[in-house]
Amino acid sequence: MKTVGLIGGMSWESTTAYYQLLNRGIQQRLGGLHSAKILMASVDFHEFETMMRDDRWDDIGRQLAVISTKLELGGADLVLLCTNTIHKVADEIEAVLTVPFLHLIDATGQVIVARGIERVGLLGTSFTMEEEFYRGRLEQKHGLSVLVPARDDRKLVNRVIFEELCCGKFGDKSAADYLRIIDQLEKDGAEGVILGCTEIGMLIRQEQTSLPLFDTTRIHVDAAIEAMLA
């Protein structure tokens, strides 16, 4: 089994899901007392959220490049960045590694294409929904048409992520708001919806909607398990 390096803490709520899902997945695949070989570097999300708001993405990229190098030197055979939004600096991370960097957006795009879906809705932070690094990669590399909510709904989705989900708050009102937005994306032509923030899968479940949901945390973990056992 290969050792996976996790860059976590953005937020720690979803990073705990990565840890649990990786270990459960390995145990299910190998049985017995098997568990995942994991190295983790967990950051202070307050510092990174401040840099995001201040548009200091170069600083974020430099810091995560250093962390990635430390994970590789510590014995990681592959590296995962346990957040959607910070994949904006994925190129900076990948540039310093000699081991594989498992890109969350590509793993998600591959699963969606395999399902035969062409038009997909996207929920996430404002950075994820509005900037080119996420939508553009899905469109250009995977041939998908990506739909996002209207402006006011994007603001709502973003607010809930930072003010509630990242703080471990998963309320019925916010879940209902998200489901309403998912319904509107379906009316707009979406054949499925990407839960493009690692915390959204803790708020919304597939059984709450008939529209296919693509939980990026689970997709990323599944891809990591395949790579670890290859």
Which positions are catalytic? Answer: 83, 197
**Ramachandran sector of residue 138 (left: φ over 0; alpha: ψ -120 to 50; beta: rest):** alpha
> Rg of the chain's alpha carbons, rounded to an integer?
17
> What is the C-alpha separation between 75 and 77, in angstroms, rounded?
6
Q: Is 175 exposed, middle or buried (0-12, 13-18, 19+ CB in 10 A)?
A: middle
CB within 8 Å of 73: residues ≥ 6 apart: none
Q: Quick one: which H or E segment has residue 222? A: helix 216-229
Rounded Cα distance between 112 and 141, Å, is: 12
Structure tokens at 99: 């081991």
**Look-up: residue for tokens 């003010």?**
163
Q: Phi first, then psi: what are they for 60, rounded to 5°?
A: -60, -45
Q: Which two structure tokens, joined as six digits, stand for 42?
A: 């967990």
